Amino acid sequence: MAPVIAIRDIADHVGEDVTVRGWVYNKTGKGKLAFVLLRDGTGILNCVAFKPNLDEHEFDRADKATQESSVIVTGTVRKDERAKGIPGGYELDIKTFEVLQATQDYPIGPKEHGTEFLMDNRHLWLRSSRQWAILRIRATIVATLRNWLDSNGYLLVDTPIITPAAGEETTTLFELDYFGEPAYLAQTGQLYNEANMMAFGKVYCFGPTFRAEKSKTRRHLIEFWMLEPEMAFFSLEDLMDTEEQMITAVVQRVLELHRPELELLERDVTKMESIVSPFPRISYDDAIERLKTLREQTDDPEQKELLKIEWGEDFGSPHETALTGLFDRPVFVYHYPSAVKAFYMQPVEGRPEVCRSVDLLAPEGYGEITGGSERIWDAELIDQRVSTIGISRDAYAWYLDLRRFGSVPHAGFGLGLERTVAWICGLQHVRETIPYARMLNRKYP
């Protein structure tokens, strides 16, 4: 009996008989030849049935195979430079072709479909090669981030999803009825990370986070995954060093493992190859000046309108796009106005109108992929800030404790996984970066 193999290992079996189990990705043919493109989740393999070499039924089954039928195919592996597939360069000469379930009327064909249709059929769309490529890259990004943290002295400490308090703006809270009391879905694991950091030094959490954001942009999800490291005794500069190392490690790893996927996505890899340290670091003040200059330089009236900004305002996506256009790698923007940032951010000494915050903006218009800061560690100031949130101070009693029992300067950041995946894969919209997107108008499937 031929051994069952994964398509990804095809190169190890040239000249041997093997069995591959999977689904028909596509079928073409001509006369005595039938070509079945078979996918098994690990790759795509072109399988060739040649009528004179086969029992009639075997040939017919291959020749009549419909898209997304589940099949078990046995044959001989042949090397052929021209063969398309992932990995390319191998074909299978079919000997037997068994159909487990013959699919009829598979809704997603080779023709163009609208995005809403594809999103409605997301449970099936996941099988297509672009989605396959994106989600494999996503998995590598997650693994690389976690490996980097695990091997650099960080401890994974999980944080709760149901919380009694808000970590970010109260306007984007999802409220739950927690046995008669209000509770919320976590917008961030940060506040708990701060407690965990005091117990373990350097920690991180990684999980789904929720924002009831009425934004319908290509960067916003209602449910997204965030990786959040939090470190005792870290400064803003330490934070930027760390982010830079993590991001370059991720980009390198994706380039190392996923050339075929990036090619499939038509990603311009030269843009990824230039992602090396150091990343530029500019202050918010400097960013505002640069935006003013860009605005003066443009002749496009629409652009002039879009780039309008006054000191004190937060950047919109046109501003981020214009700023990142100045660099070939991600850029750190630090010391934002305190008024546009979260309650817990440490004010800059002698200049409390700005805070020790830093956002990392990805190139090519991808915008903010991480947000972080030094945290207020003074008991009185944090108490004052907590009372402005608009949620009972009781819910934060534990958080205030952290500033009473061995408070230390500390810092942390959150990396938005989906925005990072969108940037690395070169996608227009975050909806394809997560298996099942939750958006303003979508919770199905």
Q: How far is the CB of 189 from ligand 4AD (least distance, A)?
A: 7
- Interface residue with ligand 4AD, options 43, 85, 167, 330 (CB under 6 A): 167
Q: Which of 189, 371, 372, 412 binds Mg ion (CB under 5 A)?
A: 371
Interface with ligand 4AD, residue 267, by CB under 6 A: no
**172 or 298: CB nearest Mg ion:** 172
Adjacency order of strands within the sheet including 367-374 = 155-156, 202-210, 223-232, 410-416, 367-374, 357-362, 331-334, 281-283
- The residue assigned the tokens 């020749």 is 63
Q: 3-state class of 70 per DSSP? A: strand
In sign, the C-alpha dihedral spanning 268, 263, 258, 413 is positive
CA dist 205 and 267 (Å) reads 30
The minimum distance between CB 357 and ligand 4AD, in angstroms, equals: 9
Nearer to ligand 4AD, 348 or 415 (CB): 415
The full DSSP string for 296-356 is HH---HHHHHHT---TTPPP-HHHHHHHHTT-SS-EEEE--BGGGS-TTBPEETTEEEEES
Of 154-162, 191-199, 332-340, 370-378, the window that binds Mg ion (rule: CB under 5 A) is: 370-378
Assess 40 for contact with ligand 4AD (CB under 6 A).
no
| Chosen from Mg ion, ligand 4AD, none, partner binding at 211 (C-beta under 5 to 8 Å by type) | ligand 4AD
Closer to Mg ion at the Cβ: 234 or 315? 315
DSSP 154-177: -EE----SEESS-SS-GGG--EEE
For the chain, what is the radius of gyration of the CA atoms? 26
Strands 90-101 and 44-50: parallel
344-373 binders of ligand 4AD (CB under 6 A):
368-372
Residue 414 in the binding site for Mg ion (CB under 5 A): no
Q: How many residues bind ligand 4AD (CB under 6 A)?
A: 23
42 binds ligand 4AD (CB under 6 A): no
- Compute the least distance from the CB of residue 219 to ligand 4AD, in Å: 6
* CA angle 118–120–124, rounded 5-degree value: 65
Site for Mg ion in 269-288 (CB under 5 A): none
Q: Which of residues 179-238 bind ligand 4AD (CB under 6 A)?
A: 188, 190, 211, 213, 220-221, 224, 226, 228
Does residue 168 belong to the site contacting ligand 4AD (CB under 6 A)?
yes
Which residue number places its CB atom closest to Mg ion?
Answer: 371
**Residue 82 tokens, joined:** 């021209």
* Residue 168 partner contact from ligand 4AD, Mg ion, none using kind-dependent CB cut-offs of 5 to 8 Å: ligand 4AD
Tokens for 250, please give them: 């991720």
* 330 binding ligand 4AD? (CB under 6 A): no
Residue 191 corresponds to which tokens in the numbers above? 């506040």
Cβ-in-10-Å burial (0-12, 13-18, 19+) of 202 comes to: buried
Per rule CB under 6 A, is residue 60 in the interface with ligand 4AD? no
Give me the residue label for tokens 């075929």: 260
Helix (H, G, I), strand (E, B) or coil at 105: coil
Q: How far is the CB of 357 from Mg ion (least distance, A)?
A: 8
> What are the residues binding ligand 4AD (CB under 6 A)?
167-168, 188, 190, 211, 213, 220-221, 224, 226, 228, 368-372, 412-414, 416, 418-419, 430
